[in-house]
Structure 1
Amino acid sequence: MKTDPGYYDYWPYHDRPKITWPNGAKVAFWVAPNIEFYELDPPANPHRKAWPGPYPSIAGYGIRDYGNRVGHMRQMKLLEKYGIRGSISLSTALCDHHPEIIELCKERDWEFFSHGIYNTRYTYGMSAEQEREMIRDSIETIYKHTGQKCAGYLAPALSHSDDTIDLFAEVGTELFGDDAGFYTCDLFHDDQPTPIHTRSGKKFVSIPYSLEMNDTIAYVVNKVEPRQYGKMIKANFDRLLEEGAESGTIMCIPTHNYQVSCPHRMKAFEEALEYITGHSDVWVTTGREIASHFIENQYDTAVADIAAKQGGMKK
């Protein structure tokens, strides 16, 4: 019986080697807009229903379509106002369904990372080979439509399997070498980058992608009001900024263009963005840039420190 996921070792938050961000920043700040495509009538998955009610789920589909028609434009304009380049958690089928969105994001130099093909087709029940092909398809689609070598992965609808990380690392290497497939957003366990075990031995990291700051979790699961969500974002940032004075931290806001971009929710979100970007000691960046910086500058030191601490605990 497994007692933990096995992707990483226990590594106490205190007394780690200091993480330094560019220009002495205390916090690496990134926004991850989930730009997704939900099929009205997807293939049935025996492990999970795509829609809570019977087909056709016009209400569920409609608000998500609103996100791609209206909400994306509203959020993109807001992020641009505060100098934030989005790191898109992309349902890659969007490249075919809404290529105009892809072009707008390319023009603004946003990052594209894989969130599977459709957010209504899950990893649950797939064989390893089926999942490998889904990951390969998504990476190749991103490259075809954007020219970017996909660096990161978030499983569609968070339907992560025991093979996901290894498959993503391997497929990225097969297609593009070490320029692709080197970070995951699927683990949610830290406020700093974490070295991750892969069977290929590839340098691979987990980058904090906060479910607590995720607008869907806030609004749908925890029933938080917009004003309170804005306060939560600021409080989260304040704490990470304080701790970042000792060693660099990461703050991520995962968004959905059919959640935070609704008119009545935008003001609180904008006030939070204005507050965060108003600090001079914040690195406003992308998921790929965070992962690359850590791998290039601190990965080996982190691995050595983890090994030393594990050895000390075993004595």
Structure 2
Amino acid sequence: MKMSHVLPTHGRYAYSAITQRTDYDWPEGKRLAVYIGLNLEHFAFGQGLGASLTSASPQPDVLNYSWRDYGNRVGVWRLLEMFDSLKLPLGVLLNTSIYDYCPEVATAFRNRSDEIIGHGHTNSERQGDLPEEEEKRLIECCTSRLTQEERTAPKGWLSPWISESLHTPDLLHEAGYTYSLNWCQDDQPVRFVTRRGGLWSIPYPQELNDIPAIMARYTSGEEFGNMIVDTYDEMIVQSEAQPLVMGIALHPYIVGHPHRLRHLRRALGHIVADGRAWITRPGAIAAHMDALTVPGEA
């Protein structure tokens, strides 16, 4: 049997070893950029997708729906108190259905001048299954609503469930987005090729992410907090050789529960107290890359 030696590829970026790239700094000579991606999500009752605390029940799945709803009613407000006390900036990944269901949640983060990032309309649905024209309309509708509510157009996008079609990066660039958070292939921003220009891929974590860590791998709140501390302590050393990005992905219906919140506060407090990182938002990372004379790796 004749074997093909060339595997299919996405064509968005070429291979590049992180040890062989052009050096640069983050603002003020910092070497590690740290951002928090806070997912504000709303789910349909009685249908669609959703993370589960226990095995899914026949719809309406009251247990899992109400567990997720705790995040918008209670967890998000406890997290907000913590972010304020630590003076942490945020990248807020927002389902536009939040504007209809609990607009005061969006207002609270707008009042902090946090960056609002596109995150689809609801996490009850995946966009990667849509035909190209329908996906384009979804992105356009969400972008229009975000711009209307926030009085500024969003620059970044994270697909619900990290769901992409073959056309998603092209559609995001054409809708005016400058970066995507969908990919986790690197510890530095990577320049994606699209059919009409470039799009930054800002590293979004699937390790320091409470859904895979806590819901899939059953990591405890204490262990998740330790993961954050250990990742930071290791990356601050690694960043002496290369500038790096460390993202932390959070969901209020998971880390907003008291037994997890306590350990999250400890971990984030460790990063703040250390003081060596540039604690920022994803959009600022993308803007910094645009301003560099070094264009980043394609």
Task: State which of 99, 103, 115 in structure 2 corresponds to 1:99.
Answer: 103
Give the secondary structure class of the aligned counterpart of 2:219: coil
Which residue does the alignment assign to 2:131? Answer: 127
Which residue does the alignment assign to 2:25? Answer: 20
Which residue does the alignment assign to 2:208? Answer: 213
Which structure 2 residue ranges, 5 or more long, are not aligned? Answer: 1-5
Task: State which of 7, 11, 18 in structure 1 corresponds to 2:16.
Answer: 11
Task: State which of 275, 283, 286 in structure 1 corresponds to 2:281.
Answer: 286
Task: State which of 186, 190, 193 in structure 1 corresponds to 2:186.
Answer: 190
State TM-score, norm by structure 1: 0.88
Mapped to 2, the partners of 1:156 and 1:12 lie a distance apart of 29
Give the secondary structure class of the aligned counterpart of 1:14: helix
1:180-259 matched pairs, under 5 angstroms? 181-201=177-197, 203-259=198-254
Mapped to 2, the partners of 1:298 and 1:60 lie a distance apart of 49
Mapped to 2, the partners of 1:228 and 1:194 lie a distance apart of 30
Structure 1 position 148 matched with structure 2 position 152: yes
Q: Deviations over 1:258-282 (max 9, x none)?
A: 0011001111111110111112221
Task: State which of 55, 59, 73 in structure 2 corresponds to 1:55.
Answer: 59
Which residue does the alignment assign to 2:3? Answer: none
Mapped to 2, the partners of 1:200 and 1:236 lie a distance apart of 36
1:49–1:149 Cα change, 3 Å: closer
Structure 1 position 66 matched with structure 2 position 70: yes
Q: CA RMSD in A?
A: 1.7
The one-letter code sitting in structure 1 at the alignment partner of 2:11 is: G
Identity of aligned residues (%): 28
Q: Deviations over 1:187-239 (max 9, x none)?
A: 110011111111111x3111111110001111111111111111111111112
Mapped to 1, the partners of 2:51 and 2:256 lie a distance apart of 23
Mapped to 2, the partners of 1:49 and 1:276 lie a distance apart of 31
The one-letter code sitting in structure 2 at the alignment partner of 1:121 is: E
Number of aligned residue pairs: give it. Answer: 290
The one-letter code sitting in structure 2 at the alignment partner of 1:297 is: L
Q: CA deviation at 1:123?
A: 1.4
Q: Is the 8 A contact 2:40 2:94 kept in 1?
A: yes
The one-letter code sitting in structure 2 at the alignment partner of 1:114 is: G
Mapped to 2, the partners of 1:195 and 1:299 lie a distance apart of 11
Q: Is the 8 A contact 1:120 1:157 kept in 2?
A: no
Mapped to 2, the partners of 1:150 and 1:41 lie a distance apart of 30
Q: CA deviation at 1:298?
A: 4.8
Which residue does the alignment assign to 1:175? Answer: none
